[in-house]
Every structure is written in structure tokens, then in C-alpha cells.
Chain A
Amino acid sequence: MSTHDLAQTTPATRSRASLHRWRLWRQYAAFVALAGPNVALLVVFTYKPLVESFRYSTLQWNIGSPTARFVGLDNYVQFFSSPTTAQVLTTTAVFTVTTVGGALVAGLGLALLLNQRLLGRGIARTLSFAPYVLSGIAVGILWLYIFDPRYGLLGTVLGWVGVSSPDWYNTSPWALIMIIIVYLWKHIGYVALIYLAGLQAIPQEVRDAAALDGAGRWRTLRSIVLPLLGPTTFFLLVTTLLASLQSFDLIHAMTQGGPLGSTTTLMYQIYQESFVNGRAGYASAVATVLFVLLLVVTLIQLKFVEKKVHY
């Protein structure tokens, strides 16, 4: 190799390298221009508030006022020692477990039904999914009318089977039960729909093979269909759990947390404490508790079903 060769190649590669670097920087700039706004908005309106919420939780503070007093962990101490907390946590747990569990079980049942070749299946699919797209406020008010003890539809229907309608709005377990029923009415169609998509992704050959091996409907369901629906169930568990813990519209339209706080969930308490009772610091502590709770539940779920989910 001669010096002549070196003299020729070195400047060429150098300029190619700098050209390459320049291109790369241009692409970085393009990346920032295209992804930047979305990421910046997420940081400003999700991550920053998340951190701020922790800070607020150490304050005694009314949301409208400019003054706030640092109280350390007092809000948390208050939260965990307050007698209403037990009620709120119980209500949240009951609401979450029944809505998530109920929607998953009934939704799966509905999906299996809608997957059969039955007359009118298309109409049933459309109708059962329709409530999901409706405004929670509208649904809540519509059902308040249906539950109306004197002029409501439900009282009349219950009367046919000889049951008198309880005073849904004003008595303790019934108000929560009422909201759970409406929540399920609104959300079952969504769960059924996702399960239906999952069911249709199961190859027919797998079922045929099971049938050839002599598996009946029940056996096929338990040993073939349900395990194959694992990832779908996991997805639904996460999404319905988040949706349930966040639900605000129905409670606000139907009971506003009453009677006597019996329909106040953690989410609703955050709203009430900050925007009704003027205790934004305390509400931030509740929000932090809710967030930690969600994180723990999600991590546990991920740990359990990690291997079954492939994004």
C-alpha cells in the first residue's frame, strides 16, 4: 500500500463521516420536531402533575387560595386514621371487584353467546355494545329515571314478580348496588366485544382437534378456549380495572357520593375533598394513595401474566 493511496482515501472517508454525522443530527432534529410536542405535553400534563401531586399532599391548602401551609405527612396520617377512610376503601373495593369481576364474567358469557350462530346475533352485538359509547352522565341520568321509586320503569317490572322496589337512591347498600348495575350495563358490551375478537382469533382447527379428541363444549371451553384467551383476559383486567377505579361520571350523575358517603370511591373522594371541601392537600394525599395502589396492582398483574402477553 502506497502513501498515494492513503492520501486519497483519508479525506474522502473523513468527509463521508462528517456527512454521515450531519445527516444523523438532522434526523435527530426531525425526531425532536415530530415526537417532541407529544412527549412534551405528556411531561407537562402527566409527569409533572404526578410529581406535583406528591408535593401538594404535604400541604394544608385550599385549591383557590394562594397560601398553603406545609404539614409534612399529616394528610397521610389523617387519611389512614380517619373513620371515613375505611368506608371509602370498602366502597372502592366492593365497586371495583364487582364491576371488574362482573364485567369479565358476564362479558365472557355474552361473547360466547354472540359467537354462536344464532338468529339476530348481529343486532344483539350492536345493541349490547351501544351503551359503551354513550356519555356516562347521560347514562346515569337515564338510569336514575328508571330507578325512580315512584315513576321508574324498574319498580313496575319488579312489581310484576311481586317485589317492591327499594328506595334505591336513599338507602345505604342500594345506592351502590344501583351504580354497579348501571356500570355493568354500560361496560359489559365492551368486554364482550374484546372477548369476541379474542375468540375469533382462535383457529378453528384447534377446536376441531379438541372435538375429535372427544372434548365436549364445557371441556373445550375450560381446557382450550379460556387458556388461549389468557392475553385477552389480562388486557381486559388492566383496562377495566383502570376504568373502574377512575369512574366519576356515573357516581356524579346518580348519587354524588351519597347517601352518607356510601357511594364515595377513592376517585370521587379526590374530587370532593379538593373541589367541594376545599382540602386540596388532603385530596392530593388520597390521589397519591390511589396512584400507589394502582401501581402495585398493575405490577402484580404484570408479574403474574408477563409471559402470556406479547405486545
Chain B
Amino acid sequence: MAILTPPQQSAAPTTPPAAPSNHTPMRASSRPHKRLSGLDIAGWITLIIVTVIMAVPLVWMAAASLKSPSELYSVPLQWLPETLNADNYATVGDRLPLGRLFLNSLLITALGAGLKLLLGLTCAYALVFLPFPFKKAMFALVLFTLLVPQQITIIPNYTLVASLGWLNTYQGILVPGLASAFGTFLFRQHFLTVPISILEAAQLDGAGHWRRLWQFVIPMSWPTISAVALVSIVAEWNDYLWPFLVIDDADMMTLPLGLTLLQDIDGMTNWGVLMAATVLVTVPVLLMFLVLQRRLVAGLTAGAVTG
């Protein structure tokens, strides 16, 4: 069991069957039965320490968001809030148009990730299934952009967006980042494994490219698509630098932008309010991650581990 076929394995969203592939490497002399060795215990302690380091900041953030000022600024630290009060959240709501920011974030994320997927899918389909004179060169063109940090292009892009009158608009945030190099690359790799005979049969039945893409290729590519979708969603939700440059109207901001706006308002840092806002930015992604982590992981590892 547990033999995953190499080309598919990276995209398979299921958990790797843990048992056989994860034997603790053992010395040849030791018996192949599970026995607690010193190394195992040390490993386990390390694991606990790592887990604590990873988890405590997040717990601390949640706890602080519910503390009253006197609890936040007591000098021997007060570990937990005495009563759960939502004052900090109310303050965030007073200072920022929270509903609007949330909707902005949602809209930008949905549109951005959706269009990116569509562009990546159609481009990869064309690159794999259609003839064209400079196909290889075109794929190289797409691939090379993965090595161009988006930030190097910010000044010309800012000038362009400003000259189009797109500052403080959704299209100003969205359009410059729409093209999908990473998605196109992953989709192409996956489409190369799709049996061409199926598409030829569809063609004989008179299906055009659009129908072949939607009715045959996409249904066969769900694991890759959902993985790329999740990675794009996380990236869009967290994107900061570009929206920060393009937007200064509070009504057009996304949640991460609102967070820094809040950071700037106070002369003295009001940690309770900031932590409440941080929770609001963090929780949606964190929840999505907890529910869909396997697919997300499949998406991130798909490009990394070649079969």
C-alpha cells in the first residue's frame, strides 16, 4: 500500500498514509519494534517546545485583544483577561469603517484570485493543447516573471496606474497583479499529464476549445485548481505593499491597510485595540487554513517536489 504514483503525488490532496513511509530510521542493530529511545524523548520535547513557540504568540494576541487597559499595562504580566470584554473590538469599529474594509478585502480577494485562476487556466490550456509558433518562448516568458520580484516594477506600475486615474480604485489594486505566472506554471505541469486521447475524442464530438477546457480538462484538474486557488486567496488577502501605495482613501482600504492606519493614529500604542484589529485580519485566513490545510499544503508543495 501507500504507493503514490509519482506524477500525481504532489497534487494529491489526501494525507500521505502515515504508517509505512514514516518509519523512524533505526540502527541496523536495534530491533524493529517501537521502543522509546533517548532520541525519541528528546525529539518529543523539541516538538513540544516548537509547538509552544509557534502557538503562544497567537494565543497571546487573542488574549490581549480581550483585556482591559489596566490588564494590558500591569507590570507583572497579567496572563489572562479577567472578564472577556469586547471594548477593544468596539474601538476598532469606531476608528475604522470595519464592514467596508471587510467587504473590500473580500471583493479584492475573490475577484483577484478568481481572475488569476481563469487567466492561468486558459493560458496553460493554450500552451499545452494548442499549436503556436513561439510556444516554448512564450512559456519561458511566463516562467521568467517568477524571478522578477514584483516590487522592482512598483515605480513604473504606480506611474501607469496613476496616469490611468486608477488610484483609489479596485481596478488599480487588481489589474497590475492579475497575470498568473505561478498558476500557469502549475497548471501546465498538470495538463501535460492529461491523456490527449480524451480531448481528441471530445474534439471529434465537436467540442470547441472552451468546452474542452470546462467539461474535460478542468474536471480532471480539481486538486491542482483548488490548491492554486487557496494559495492565491491567501496571497490576495494578505497583499499589502501594492494596495498601500495605490489606496489612501479609508473607504477603499483592505483590512491589512486598515491595520497600519490604526497603528499610525495613536501617539501611544494602544495594544489592546491593535491586537483586536490583528485578530480581525488574521482569523479569516487562519480559519480557512485550519479547514482546508491539506489542499493548501498540496498547492504549496506541488511546485516544489517533482516526481
Binds A, one of B94-102, B142-150, B194-202: B142-150
Q: A42 to B263, Cβ gap below 8 A?
A: no
Most chain A CB inside 10 Å of its own CB: which residue of B119, B213, B237:
B119
Would you give the 0/1 interface string for A119-151, flagging 1 where the beta carbon is closer than 8 Å to chain B? 111011011111101111110011111101011
- In the docked arrangement, what's the CA distance between A120 and B58, Å? 19
When distances are taken between beta carbons in the complex, the residues of chain A under 8 Å from B179 are 38-39, 41-42, 45-46
Question: A177 contacts the other chain (Cβ, under 8 Å)?
Answer: no
Known contacts A28-B132, A45-B179, A138-B259: A197-B301 contact under CB 8 Å: yes
Q: A136 to B120, Cβ gap below 8 A?
A: no
- Which of chain B's residues has its CB closest to A196's CB? B301
Question: A246 contacts the other chain (Cβ, under 8 Å)?
Answer: yes
Q: A217 to B27, Cβ gap below 8 A?
A: yes
Chain A, interface size category, equals 35 or more
When distances are taken between beta carbons in the complex, the residues of chain A under 8 Å from B263 are 141, 253
Question: A98 contacts the other chain (Cβ, under 8 Å)?
Answer: no
Binds A, one of B83-91, B121-129, B218-226: B121-129
Known contacts A141-B274, A242-B147: A133-B285 contact under CB 8 Å: yes
The secondary structure that dominates the A interface is helix
Question: B103 contacts the other chain (Cβ, under 8 Å)?
Answer: no
Question: A287 contacts the other chain (Cβ, under 8 Å)?
Answer: yes
Known contacts A35-B138, A189-B54, A283-B155: A216-B27 contact under CB 8 Å: yes
Q: Which B residues, 11 to 46, have Cβ-Cβ distances below 8 Å to chain A? A: 16, 18, 20-28, 34, 39-40, 43-44, 46
- In the docked arrangement, what's the CA distance between A288 and B56, Å? 41
When distances are taken between beta carbons in the complex, the residues of chain B under 8 Å from A123 are 51
Q: A131 to B43, Cβ gap below 8 A?
A: no
Question: B77 contacts the other chain (Cβ, under 8 Å)?
Answer: yes
Question: B265 contacts the other chain (Cβ, under 8 Å)?
Answer: no
Which of A117, A135, A138, A144 is the one whose CB lies under 8 Å from B24?
A117
- In the docked arrangement, what's the CA distance between A56 and B151, Å? 15
Q: B126 to A35, Cβ gap below 8 A?
A: yes
The contact sample of 29 A-B pairs, CB cut-off 8 A, is A37-B122, A39-B141, A45-B160, A46-B150, A46-B153, A53-B153, A63-B159, A117-B18, A121-B47, A130-B54, A133-B234, A137-B256, A138-B278, A142-B278, A144-B269, A146-B60, A153-B60, A197-B10, A204-B21, A207-B23, A207-B25, A221-B25, A236-B304, A242-B149, A249-B240, A274-B158, A291-B152, A294-B147, A295-B147
3 closest A-B pairs by CB: A49-B156, A41-B179, A49-B153
Residues in A lying within 8 Å of B, measured CB to CB: 24, 27-28, 30-32, 34-35, 37-39, 41-43, 45-50, 52-53, 56, 63, 110, 113-121, 123-124, 126-131, 133-138, 141-146, 148, 150-151, 153, 156, 185, 189-190, 193-194, 197-198, 200-201, 204, 207, 211-217, 220-221, 231-232, 235-236, 238-239, 242, 245-246, 248-249, 252-253, 267, 270-271, 274-275, 280, 283-284, 287-288, 290-291, 294-295, 298, 309-311
